[in-house]
Amino acid sequence: MKFSVIVTLKKDVLDPQGKVVLNTLVNLGIDNLKSIRQGKYFEIDVDEVDQVKAEKQINQMCEKLLVNLIIENYKISKIK
Amino acid sequence: MKSSVIVFPGSNCDRDIATALEKMQFKNQMVWHKETSLPKSDLIVIPGGFSYGDYLRSGAIAGKSIIIDEVIKAANSGCLILGICNGFQILTETGLLKGTLLRNRDLKFINRDVNIKVMNNETKFTSKYKLNEILKINIAHNEGNFFTDSKHRDQLKKENLVAFKYCDEKGNISEGSNPNGSIDNIAGIYNSKKNILGMMPHPERMIDQIISNTDGVNLFTSLMN
């Protein structure tokens, strides 16, 4: 079973990389940009048929390693 | 005093800190990250570098390595732990120190000597320094921008857990003397028991007048006491 995990910075955490990307896009002529926040994306394939179990496992992975909960939020979605 | 320096793939200040410790008369051992036990140590040092190439987040992978369980056990039983630069990042990833280190405010790797102020000299790491003493210590990092939640920020103030703050030559702590955007100009912090110190500046690079200065020496002489 395959899942995606999207990790994003929390609202109050500064994102200098996102800001630089935004400034560059503005320089390229895009004039209606409101904000850009940069994040991370994981694709995780687990050998498990029970979706509840699999999601629980992915949650543990996020909390143990993939996400720094002080500064980041995450969202798990099933891909297939 | 017996010390252990933990070595990860990508550590690159491990020999520097070992040299500093030996110069200060520590009996030092190097410990590879795959070891399952630690030699008897009064001090454990997590050195600077780029453990695991900073994959995922700086210090994230090293923070889950085999030897770290032993470091956590030792820390909980009161052993002194010093994390420098990447070592500080690793300590935050293990949870031994709260907070985290973000990308530098200006997105640049900074390698230069900066001034820091001793904010608390009543600890085992800093007793040989004077309170508010200004030191010139090298920093060399890309992710040194200390960040933490407001609860921890209050705790740091209330329990006097800030070890060092970035300042200018006269000791003024301001945005202009903040090299990397760290919250409250914080350059190093203690845990609440003050047996763990994490700091971004490199005291092990400041132990010899010939190559730099000797502003880092008193950290080691404090520990020897």
Contact residues on chain B for A17, CB-CB shorter than 8 A: 103, 107
pLDDT of B67: 96
The two beta strands, B110-118 and B196-199, are: unpaired
Number of A/B CB contacts below 8 angstroms equals 31
- Cβ-Cβ contacts under 8 Å for B121 (sequence gap 6 or more): B127, B129, B130, B131, B133
Both tokens of residue B119? 């904010």
Q: Do B106 and A16 touch (CB under 8 A)?
A: yes
* A71 near B CB under 8 A: yes
**Residue indicated by tokens 């995606």:** A4
CATH number at residue B112: 3.40.50.880
Query: Which structural domain range is residue B79 located in?
Result: 2-224
Average pLDDT, chain B: 97
Structural domains counted in chain B: 1
pLDDT of B58: 95
Question: Is B85 designated active site?
Answer: yes
* A20 near B CB under 8 A: yes
Fold adopted by A2-78: Mth169; Chain: A , (3.30.1280)
Contact residues on chain B for A20, CB-CB shorter than 8 A: 107
**B84-140, pLDDT tens digit by residue?**
999 999 999 999 999 999 999 999 999 999 999 999 999 999 999 999 999 999 999
CA gyration radius, chain A: 16
Sign of the Cα pseudo-torsion (B121, B127, B130, B136, in order): negative
Q: Which segment of A10-19, A51-60, B48-57 scores lowest on mean pLDDT?
A: A10-19
**pLDDT-based confidence at B225, cuts 50/70/90?**
confident
Which of B64, B102, B104 is the closest to A71 by Cβ?
B102
* A70 near B CB under 8 A: yes
Provide the shortest C-alpha distance from residue A68 to chain B (in Å): 8
Q: Do A68 and B107 touch (CB under 8 A)?
A: no
**B158-211, pLDDT tens digit by residue?**
999 999 999 999 999 999 999 999 999 999 999 999 999 999 999 999 999 999
- The structural domains of chain A, with segments of one domain joined by +, span 2-78
**pLDDT-based confidence at A71, cuts 50/70/90?**
very high
CA A33 from chain centre, in angstroms, equals 20
Give the pLDDT mean for B78-84.
98
- Cβ-Cβ contacts under 8 Å for A71 (sequence gap 6 or more): A9, A10, A13, B100, B102, B147
Average pLDDT, chain A: 94
The two beta strands, A2-9 and A72-78, are: antiparallel
What Cα–Cα distance (Å) separates residue B37 from each residue in A16, B1, B44, B47?
40, 19, 13, 18
